[in-house]
Structure 1
Amino acid sequence: MISTWIRHRAGGGRAGKKQQPDGNLNMEVTIPTHFRCPISLDLMKDPVTLSTGITYDRENIETWIEAGNQTCPVSNQVLKSIELIPNHAIRKMIQEWCVQNRSYGIERIPTPRIPVSPFEVSEIVSRIVSATKRGDQIGCQALIAKIKSWGRESERNRRCIAANGTGVALSAAFEAFATASFEKNAGVLQEILSALPWMFPRDPEGQSYLRSSPSLRCMVWILECGDLSGRQNAVLALKQLLSFDQQHVDALGKLEGVTEALFKLIKEPISPTATKASLAAIFYLVSSLSSSSEKIKSRLVEMGLVSLLLEILVDSSESSICEKALGVLDSICCSNEGREDAYSQALTMPVLVKKILRVSDLATEFSVSVLWKLCKNEKKDEGSALVEALQVGAFQKLLLLLQVGCGEKTKEKATDLLKLLNPSRGRLECIDSMDFKNIKRPF
């Protein structure tokens, strides 16, 4: 089988014709067989040799080995070692061939970086532990910068770094430096948080360091006083921590200032990533069964979270942000204070009805749940929530939802809502729920 490399036109992606000095058209460049990976049959970019003596492209053979295969794909011999030895001779020959054929549109492959090894990671982790014990924040920062540099080189490096205890070592270092002093060690603390998102410890030991009182208070302090990147990394770390265990939620919910710091990140957004992480963190706090959950809900309602969530839902077109905002609103409306505030907002019913079947299944589920809580728990002598829902087309939307199909719990709530709405729908005029022009916004 012979593979060829044909130059393509810049636009359209069709095979192009290269006009040669001698007038020949449609010249094709044949890739030498020994330059092609035996697995993909493509030109090798990072040739490596197995213990069997066969050379493959690194990415392809790593995928083969990671899939659980223990034999050489070509020879079918059992691999005595999975060490991949860079084949510099073949790589240089491929680069020279690329240069010789650059007139045909072939680009020279870059010299690949050698991937980091588990031994190198273990060594630098040991040095981080030693630097932490000495209280050497400058040395620790330099080592973390080296790890981040390795991680930027390839996804393989990231997996190797994360798999060799780096997350636990950084978590322990974070707790140690946080215990010593937030202000004096702010640099190394923020450097650790910048590396944690892609190597966050999933084992109890690593999480226990981050769940400790000094670590949590330090993250809240960075949320309040850190620079923009520090605040974003802190809220990302908190969101990941809260997603693992109820213990983490309980511990964070007892700290002063966390509610205000997270609310500020939503009210004064620094990036979509930070906004989503803040909404997720608040969702974990207000939807938990901890004793502090009700206090947090009351405080957030008092600060104006309901109107802020409605503003986000009106202005944002990103499904992930809408889902999280609706999830928080659903949890907030479990409390009397939350529902009372939602009743008072002119945008509540139009926004909720609009989001049904418009964003995602999850957003629809939350929207129906909030509507159900507002209509079900409204005082019998008022009925304004039912009237507003009917006027913005809730009855028609819910009927359509049942026809399209939804989850069992959502179906039950939608059916219950239709029963609540049906007695009044004959005497009310329905308006377009998509039109917010004549509705006064509370912000």
Structure 2
Amino acid sequence: MVRDDDLYVAVPSFFRCPISLDIMKSPVSLCTGVTYDRSSIQRWLDDGNNTCPATMQLLHTKDLLPNRNLHRLIQIWSDSFRLPPRNSTSFSPPSSPFQPPLPKDQIRHLIHRLDAYTEPSSSFDSLSKIAQFARESDDNRKILAERDGFIQVLVEFLGGSGNAEDKNIGALEQVVRILDLVKDKIQDREELSRWMLKKSGQDCLASLLLIAQHGSVDSRIATAGVLESISVNAEAKILIAEKEGLLPQLLKSTAPEKDPTVIEASLSCLIALSTPKRVKVRLVHLGAVKLLSKLLWDPNSTTATVEEALKLLETVSSVKEGRGKICEDGKCVSGIVQRLLKVSSAAAEHAVTILWSVCYLFKERAAQEAVGRANGLTKILLLMQSNCSPAVRQMCADLLKIFRVNSKSVISCYDTKTTHIMPF
């Protein structure tokens, strides 16, 4: 019998994040030279802190520099023991602490066995081992993606016959995880989309909806990734969006109380799906504007979440229905104004574009008044004189023209050519 002491592996201290004390999955360094796990330090910065947690030095910049050398050392160390970083969603816990990588000939045998099964539930063990193989390396994922007939077998399992309630969700989760892992290695993404949306029809989407509703966190993230990868054109996006229950579930997954990684994956998927006008209108009717407004006001929203929420709002603001809902919800407009600064350049650009669309391009009076109440003029001035892009600066100038006409305040005499901010 193996004692617990024999299985103990000492973790090098510099592999652990100073905040969470977990092994770092994505090490990044601050300007102070201290390295943290990206998710931990991002939460610290998102809370409004402007110091280094370890040294308490003031940060002259909040840029995060990836520590690629340390990331590579952690990866080599983890692979040598087959011990995945704690809480990592990129790995599934192995059956034993020192489980060796699966040999390629065994994987070929497992793939061959899949052809003999008609349902994923009867091949759960094989699917689990193949998923483990895919997680081990980029080369392994390429091998699976290029294996003749393998992707078709996965799609057939996903679109298997039977009602959604009768399907084995555990086996379907393994199928989706494999598809999510290998999707970037599939040469013809349009062919994958055709297999899933036309040949297997609504059955594949029914399985994906089932996982999105009842699956684990990592399988829900994988589901959003697969849906995004097969939304290759307008027809595919509409087919996905019109699957009953799918868009509402993706929107439900963006609620502030959900896991941040699920929120980000769901928003990314919704952005990919929202190109066609009819999808934008449907999102508006499903209450997307109100949900996105909540994310903007949620103090726990990550930078990525705020960026994606603003990007989706920018998308729906291009249709009349979207602009109407944004203008009706004064809290949404003020939330956009509040996110003009101190988030990121991408967030600022999305926020300005929304305001420019509703206030300047379409001259929505309600939105203009909401911007004024939220002290938007000052923020627009600050943003205009920051290191923003020429496009953002021009939109700010256009907005100032609108407010200069509509306001009797000191802004009416503001010269947009000045290089400083006039005192109020």
TM (norm. structure 1) is: 0.61
Residue in structure 2 matched with residue 173 of structure 1 by the alignment:
153
Consecutive unaligned residues of structure 2, counting only runs of 5 or more, are: 1-11, 17-71, 81-96, 412-424
What SS class does the counterpart of residue 341 from structure 2 fall into? coil
Residue in structure 2 matched with residue 345 of structure 1 by the alignment:
329
Residue in structure 2 matched with residue 158 of structure 1 by the alignment:
137
Alignment counterpart, residue 240 of structure 1, candidates 229, 235, 241: 229
Q: Distance in 1 between matches of 2:366 and 2:239?
A: 40
Q: Is the CA contact (8 Å cut-off) linking 1:390 and 1:428 kept in structure 2?
A: no
Aligned-pair CA distance for 1:277: 1.6
**TM alignment of 1:72-221, pairs within 5 A:** 115-128=101-114, 130-131=115-116, 134-151=117-134, 157-166=136-145, 171-177=151-157, 178-181=159-162, 182-187=164-169, 188-200=171-183, 201-204=185-188, 205-212=191-198, 213-214=201-202, 216-221=204-209
Residue in structure 2 matched with residue 392 of structure 1 by the alignment:
374
Deviations 1:299-347 (A, max 9, x none): 3223322121111111043011101110111111111111111112121
Deviations 1:242-286 (A, max 9, x none): 3x5555324323433322222222248542222112211221222
Deviations 1:73-101 (A, max 9, x none): xxxxxxxxxxxxx9xxxxxxxxxxxxxxx
Q: Distance in 1 between matches of 2:211 and 2:132?
A: 25
Q: Is the CA contact (8 Å cut-off) linking 1:372 and 1:413 kept in structure 2?
A: yes
Q: Distance in 1 between matches of 2:320 and 2:156?
A: 42
What SS class does the counterpart of residue 388 from structure 2 fall into? coil
Structure with the bigger RCO (C-alpha within 8 Å, sep 6+) is 2
Residue in structure 1 matched with residue 253 of structure 2 by the alignment:
265
Alignment counterpart, residue 416 of structure 1, candidates 373, 398, 402: 398
Alignment counterpart, residue 374 of structure 1, candidates 344, 358, 382: 358
Deviations 1:140-195 (A, max 9, x none): 2111111233456xxxx332320112587564233323142344443322221133
Change (3 A) 1:202 1:269: farther
Deviations 1:39-72 (A, max 9, x none): xxxxxxxxxxxxxxxxxxxx99x99xxxxxxxxx
Q: Is the CA contact (8 Å cut-off) linking 2:330 and 2:367 kept in structure 1?
A: no
Residue in structure 1 matched with residue 89 of structure 2 by the alignment:
none
Q: Distance in 2 between matches of 1:386 and 1:176?
A: 52
Q: Is the CA contact (8 Å cut-off) linking 1:220 and 1:257 kept in structure 2?
A: no
Q: Which 4+ residue blocks in structure 1 deviate beyond 6 angstroms?
A: none
Q: Is the CA contact (8 Å cut-off) linking 1:330 and 1:366 kept in structure 2?
A: yes
Q: Distance in 2 between matches of 1:266 and 1:167?
A: 34
Q: Is the CA contact (8 Å cut-off) linking 1:333 and 1:373 kept in structure 2?
A: yes
Q: Distance in 2 between matches of 1:224 and 1:112?
A: 32
Q: Distance in 1 between matches of 2:204 and 2:104?
A: 30
Residue in structure 1 matched with residue 40 of structure 2 by the alignment:
none
Q: Is the CA contact (8 Å cut-off) linking 1:144 and 1:192 kept in structure 2?
A: yes
Alignment counterpart, residue 271 of structure 2, candidates 283, 290, 297: 283
What SS class does the counterpart of residue 359 from structure 1 fall into? coil
What SS class does the counterpart of residue 135 from structure 1 fall into? coil
Q: Distance in 2 between matches of 1:248 and 1:314?
A: 33
**TM alignment of 1:39-50, pairs within 5 A:** none
Consecutive unaligned residues of structure 1, counting only runs of 5 or more, are: 1-8, 14-58, 64-85, 87-110, 430-443
What SS class does the counterpart of residue 357 from structure 1 fall into? coil
Structure number with bigger Rg: 1
Look up the equivalent residue of 2:271 and give its one-letter code: F
Aligned-pair CA distance for 1:207: 4.4
1:407 matched to 2:389 = yes
Q: Kindly, what percent of the aligned residue pairs are identical?
A: 20
**TM alignment of 1:423-434, pairs within 5 A:** 423-427=405-409
* Aligned-CA RMSD value: 3.6
**TM alignment of 1:304-343, pairs within 5 A:** 304-315=287-298, 316-343=300-327
1:296 matched to 2:279 = yes
